[in-house]
Chain A
Amino acid sequence: MNFLRRLPRQLWHLFVDDGQSVAILLCWVLVACGLLPRFALGVWSGPILFAGIAAITFGSLRPRG
């Protein structure tokens, strides 16, 4: 029973260690995936998605607090 009680928390922490960074990352992914296909960016639409993700990840490397 203890295992089942801890399972949701463990699954959550599999993907989320820093709620604020994850929220910003998800916002960027949603905005980029919604907007980028509307512009004629050719093969650069993917790298623009990456540039945003890389910038957010870089900013999240310093521990908070």
Chain B
Amino acid sequence: MTAALTSGAASLVEFIEALTVVLALGAARSWRSALCGAAAAMMLLVLLLALFGQAIPHLPTGAALLGLGILLLLFGTRWLRKSTRRAAGLIPLRDEAESLRRHTERFAGLGARGGRWDAPALAIAFQATAFEGLEVVFIVLAVGAAGPSALRAATAGAGAAFAAVCALGLLLHGPITRVPENSLKRLIGAMLAGLGTFWIGEGAGLSWPGEDLAILPLGLGFLLLSVLGASILARGAARG
């Protein structure tokens, strides 16, 4: 359940960002090319997930836990840093409506459209979906590395997030602006950093009070650190 929720919430954020680019390409260039580019990228991501998902259970446990733990920690702390700075007002919050407007303007200026297929729209939709989706693949694999059932749950969570974003995109015919992206990123960043720290410890043979139950307090510890950090940074910024 935790694997599905973590992977689903993280995937939601990434798919929303990809949807904004695809919507801008569709409106400014060609719906057919934008959708086909995004679909091709999704096929590549599913292939990567299947390939690496098969390999993970065969890795040596200690080394795999340590390696995945380090990657998860770096990934989680990167999200935590960015979302904390946004929460503190040091960098602007992401605005999907504004992002759609800017992207549409830029894509419209890319030159004349081709006939049936628009090469720039196809390529940009493919790249945007693939690069945002790489983060989803990593999260699903990392969260699902705990075992086959965790991997299934994490994949299901990401699949549900993808379906939800597609459905909302079709329904709204516009960007998804009401999801609290930064709060989600902050929460997921903290949970991934907590999970990464736990796995590093497990891989190195360290012990935790409460064993597996330590993951939740670790995630909460990172979240607390982010809340405290944002408040200090915001006060510092207000003082100038």
Whether A54 contacts B75 by the Cβ 8 Å rule is: no
Closest Cβ neighbor of B204 among chain A residues: A33
The answer to the question of B145 belonging to the interface, with a C-beta cut-off of 8 Å to chain A, is: no
CA distance A10 to B71 in the complex (A): 14
Looking at chain B's contact residues, is the secondary structure mostly helix, strand, loop, or mixed? helix
Question: Chain B: how many interface residues by the 8 Å CB criterion?
Answer: 46
Q: How many A-B residue pairs have CB under 8 A?
A: 106
A26 and B70 form a contact (CB under 8 A)? yes
Q: Which residue of the partner chain B has the closest CB to A1?
A: B123
Distance of A14 Cα from B138 Cα, bound (Å) = 9
For chain A, which range describes its interface: under 10, 10 to 19, 20 to 34, or 35 or more residues? 35 or more
Asked if B74 and A25 make an inter-chain contact with CB atoms under 8 angstroms apart, the answer reads yes
A33 to chain B, nearest CB (A): 4
Are the CB atoms of B225 and A46 closer together than 8 Å? Answer: no
- Given A25-B74, A33-B200, A61-B84 in contact, is the A54-B206 Cβ separation under 8 Å? no
Q: Per-residue 0/1 for A30-54: is the Cβ within 8 Å of any B Cβ (1 yes, 0 no)?
A: 0011001100011111110110011
Assess the A29–B200 pair: CB atoms within 8 A: yes
Hey, what's the 0/1 contact readout for B181-209 against A, CB within 8 Å counting as 1? 00000000000010001101101111111
B residues near A46, Cβ cutoff 8 Å: 198, 201, 206-209, 214
